[in-house]
Amino acid sequence: MDRPIVILATVQAPEVKQRRLPPQQRRTMILAAARRCIAERGMQAATAREVAAYAGVTTGTIMHHFPSMAGLLADALREGSEQFTDRTLAA
């Protein structure tokens, strides 16, 4: 009995370059992550490391977009409040 010959070939997937997000989109992601962190842990317990983990960025990226953790949290709360107001008025 002859056995069939099977030839296996490996195909390398094309390299996919990660695209950088526009600064405004990255900033929006960081603010959403900060609001999530505040909601889960409270304002006093929110850390840049946690916000970075939620946003999928480094703490350096956070500090590039926001001068301080206090500024980040203030902007996150301000934007969240504006979104709430807009949704309430639209309803």
pLDDT at 8 over 80: no
- pTM for this prediction: 0.73
Q: What is the pLDDT of residue 35?
A: 94
Orientation of helix 48-55 relative to helix 23-41, angle to 10°: 120
pLDDT at 7 over 60: no
- What integer is the mean pLDDT of 13-37? 83
pLDDT at 2 over 70: no
Give pLDDT tens digits for 39-69: 999 989 999 999 999 999 999 999 999 999 9
